[in-house]
Each structure stands twice: as C-alpha cells, then as structure tokens.
Amino acid sequence: MADQKPAWLKRAMNPSTPTTDANETVRTLDFEQDGVSYIAPTIRMGQDGLIRLSASEAIEKALELGDAMRVPEGISPTEFSKSISDMIGASRKHRGRAASRSSENSNGD
C-alpha cells in the first residue's frame, strides 16, 4: 500500500496536518459498488481547513477523485478502516495522538 496511498491518507498521516475540534484528521465510511467494498473519507481538506462531508457527499467525492480505497478480501470494511486508523496513529504518534475507531457506516450520517 506504500505507493498506493491516496492523497487524503497521505495528508492524514502528515503530523503537520490540522485536526478537527474532536482531534481527528480523517474519518471514513464504507460503501459498495459493483459488489466491491470501499472506504472513503468523510473529512477532507477544504480551502479553509478540514471539512466534514455527508455520506453521499463523501461517496460522490471519492468516486469523482477516484481515491476510495478498495477493502481487501477477507477483511471487513470496519477492520480495514481500523487498520488505516492504526497506520495514521503510528505515523502521528509523536504528536501524542492515539488512533481511534474511524469507520462510519454509509447507511447513516
């Protein structure tokens, strides 16, 4: 996954990235398209800082940009999102942040 990280994940892993009031750099939701599960960010960088997208906006933006991450076979979307959160937490640990569960279900905002 080293060379396949989408821009939103690279940004979230950057220790200098701003955070939300809840100390988050990214949250994800999962969705299915053509029988394949993906995760997409609901927090993205906007012109004036981080913005929170609704489920439909997040999916639309991920499809537009082509930066949704395909969930590997044999793992649930929640487990995959947790592994992404752990990776982000490990890359940002010198800031004192611990990764938290970040998967949101696309069935509810």
For 22-63, write each residue's pLDDT tens digit. 888 899 999 999 999 999 999 999 998 899 999 999 999 999
From residue 35, alpha-carbon distances to 2, 53, 61, 101 in Å are 25, 24, 19, 24
Strand partners, 31: 38
Flag whether pLDDT at 102 surpasses 80. no
Its pTM stands at 0.77
Q: 14 or 101, which is more confident?
A: 14
Question: Mean pLDDT throughout 94-108?
Answer: 47
